[in-house]
Structure 1
Amino acid sequence: MLKSLFNWKVLLNLVVAIGVFVGLVWLTFRWLEYHTNHGQEIPVPNIVNKSVQEAIKILDDAGLEYEVDSFKYDPKYRPFQVLQVYPAPGSRVKDGRAIQLKVNPRTWARVEVPDVINKYSGLAFQRLEQVGLKVGDTIFEPSIQKDAVLRILYKGTAVKSKTKLPRFSVVDVVIGSGPMRNIAIPNVVGLTVKEARAVIAKSMFEVGLVEHEDGGKDESDIIYYQDPAAGDVRDQGMQIDLWASKKTPAELSAKIEQLNSIYRMKVDTGLPPIEYHEIPAHQEPNYDAQPPAVPAPKRDIPKPADAVKPDASKTGTAKPTVSGTENKPKTTNSGATSGNNAATGGKTVTTTQKPAEKPKAKKVVVE
């Protein structure tokens, strides 16, 4: 067996097989070097802070591909300025490698206008600020929707929701100031229902009942009656009822008279005016309040001057009083008179003394 193994033919086949294998491996690596540019590397040029147009031209000349991505806008740098490069400048890459460029955009990223129409103004302001829009002027406009957003204006032009605007753009907001009062009702008699709706909406009133004579809903029917009547003063937002027909108002005079008897009140000015008198309002009793204190009954207490005087006969004393009208003067005896005259120089002295009076009975009530 060993003899057959060292046969020259076997050895020749073995050498040929090894040569073919080595040749295939060498050809494979050569093919890989050719297609992968093995050993052929290109340094990444420094294109930071250059404009994107200059950076693209440099990469094209170097045989490198590029991918441009907008970076977050930074007002400190120029628009379309290259801020970052990957791989970093100075790195060696193969021919055809894509270089990623981070470029400062021209302005802020665009954002969508939120749906805030007919929403409360306070909520609308918050939504606009959340998406990055700034509120400029606040314009108030008469509308039955008080404090509701009617329109969003950008540079004087109304924009709809989901419209894209640059971030931090300034928008104006139109807000309803509420309905106006004492506004004249427009005259829509003789117009079609469609035309009447437009006139009523323009005057900021609402269309109420629309009654068609034939029971249909044709918008081309002519209005022959309205309530309230044209010229009446009402607040905006109130409803206006309409009666429509295919006939003209002149042909429906009887129907109009019938409606006038129902919706038009006639005031008889021949009657005397009614006089109104104010009646004082009845004071309702307050049961919760404390009742007023009832004063104690007054007692008839005799004054000291009216008190019963004691009987002079019992006490043995009498208080003399001098009176020249009630009692007559009492004259003393002749002997005493003569003595007194002598003492007084011949003058006569008359003394008056009131006798003790009997006290009158006085009724004293003691409760």
Structure 2
Amino acid sequence: MNDSKYFVIFIINLLIAIFFLYKITHFALKWADIYTKHGSYVVVPNLRYLTLSQSISILKKLGLKYDIDTSHYDPNLRNNQIISFSPEAGDHVKEGRHIYLKVNYKSQYNTTILPNIINKNKSIAIKLLHANQIPVKEIRYINDQTKDTVLKVFYKNKLIQSGYIFPTNQDGITLIIGKGYENNNLVVPNVIGMSLYAATSTLKEKLFRFINFYYDHPIIDPDKNAKVYRQKPSPGEIQDKNKSIELWLTSKELLDDLIEEKEIDKKIEEKEIDKKIEEKEIDKKTKTEKKEIIPTN
């Protein structure tokens, strides 16, 4: 009986505690909602490429604050133009939030900065240079796959990169521009011993497109089973890529036998050469010993 009484009291106390906890939580959430203006937000506008004054005017109307960074300059953009901003356009932020503005800013001093012209077409690069009042002193052309493309920039015989700040009254820059390869002459790779598939793939990778091949006898599945035992031009020779490469093919088994025979012949030849050298050394030694013998009276 006493146990039942204590159990009922425990349940009543538990319910009272839950009720008070609910009220406290509800009050805290309501207070936080009022304090933080929950549900009240501002959508960040798109400020990119607007001027600084236009951006500040828009942010003030929306109740947003701003921080300005003027440590960047891009000669391709107008002065005081917004380069980027954070948070990004479309983000939801609280009223009074600071928006970070990166502004394109050129100081009052007459500094000239090299724009990004590397890997750009020659005509586009020169237009950018003229727009930034950077004179071109000399243009040099070198062999390169990229034709009429700016590869390097030199100022006073020193390589410079985009963003380089020129001193007052600069002398002018030198542009290194690719002129493409003047001829089609390429080195012929060695494909002897390769399968037909591997040989043609290697030649095509080296830009040789015209390949003629001849079989010394019928071969089943030549791409796999045929091997090159002769080629024309020979490996290492210079050949116009628009001229054909000649390949002679035989079966894998015959070529392996031929290689094995050549290796045996080579070993025999080496042994014969060693034997001849040894005989010459013995003969030489014998003659030397005869000369050293003193005749007796």
User: Does TM, normalized by the shorter one, top 0.5?
Assistant: no
Higher Cα Rg, which structure: 1
Q: Normalising to structure 1: TM-score of the pair?
A: 0.28
Q: Normalising to structure 2: TM-score of the pair?
A: 0.35
Structure with a larger share of its residues in strand: 2
